[in-house]
Amino acid sequence: MESLSNRAKKLEKKPMTLAERAYLPAIFQGLSITMQHFFRAATKKQVTIRYPEETRPFSPVFRGLHVLKRDEQGRERCTACGLCAVACPAEAITMVAGERKKGEQNLYREEKYAVSYEINMLRCIFCGLCEEACPKAAVYLQADKMAPPRYERDEFIYGKDRLVEPVSPDNRSKRGIQLTPEQADKLRGQMQTA
């Protein structure tokens, strides 16, 4: 039968030569190989990522922990329209809407806002459909944070206290800036090569 790849090597069972039977040359060969690895490990950068100090870089399109964005003036963008909750295939999002009172214009962007907004991280499948559904660019999945493990199931229900990003612009999530089409193409390219 014709071989498919022509790469198969035909092996013949020959009696071992004296050098092979003596076993020692083979040992020294093996020792030299491991020694090369020893010096490689001792001198070159190792492939190991020392976890708490170093982290494996996330993909730029990674969908991690949610964030509720503020606008340029630090007002919450969410208007509690409920489109994210409708879009959510895992039914992880619940919210209660409320009306903005007088004097709260610096807190909430529009007249309606979310009094409570909860995402159950045990239900969430991190598909990002809420992000796509949001007409106000309020909810985003961060590319650099994961929902951390907890001991109690209650602690996985994230309320506004843990979802809304801090007021100080320096501490805000980098995610949520609208991408230009070129940037989006670049990200897609990175995702394909990664």
Partner 1 sequence: MSLESLGWQGLVVLVVFGVSLLIATYCTYAERVIAAFLQDRVGPDRAGPWGLAQPLADAVKLFTKEEFFPSGANKALFIFGPCLAMITALMSSAVIPFGNVLKFGSTEIHLQGIEINVGMLYIFGIVSLGVYGIMIGGWASNNKFSLLGAIRAASQNISYELAMGLALIAVLMMSGSLSLRDITLQQTHTGGWHFSDIFAWNVFKQPLGFIIFIVCAFAETNRTPFDLPECETELVGGYHTEYSSMKMGLYLFAEYVNVFVATAVMSVLYFGGFNYPFQYEFLDFLNKAGLSPDWAHNLFVLMGVVAMFMKIFAGIFFFMWVRWTLPRFRYDQLMRLGWTILIPLAIFNILLTGGLITFGVIN
Binding site for partner 1 (CB under 8 A): 24, 27, 30-31, 33-35, 37-38, 40-42, 46-48, 50
Identify which of 153, 77, 89, 83 has the alpha carbon closest to the alpha carbon of residue 121.
Answer: 153
Rounded to a whole number of angstroms, the minimum distance from the CB of residue 52 to partner 1 is 10
Rounded to a whole number of angstroms, the minimum distance from the CB of residue 17 to partner 1 is 17
Q: Which residue has the tokens 């990664």?
A: 194
Ramachandran category for residue 138: left, alpha or beta (phi over 0 → left; psi -120 to 50 → alpha) = alpha
Rounded to an integer, what distance in angstroms lies between the CA atom of residue 194 and that of residue 36? 30
Rounded to a whole number of angstroms, the minimum distance from the CB of residue 57 to partner 1 is 19
Give the Cβ contact number of residue 89 at 10 Å: 11
**Which residue's CB is nearer to partner 1, number 11 or number 47?**
47
**Which residue's CB is nearer to partner 1, number 33 or number 115?**
33
**Which residue's CB is nearer to partner 1, number 6 or number 34?**
34
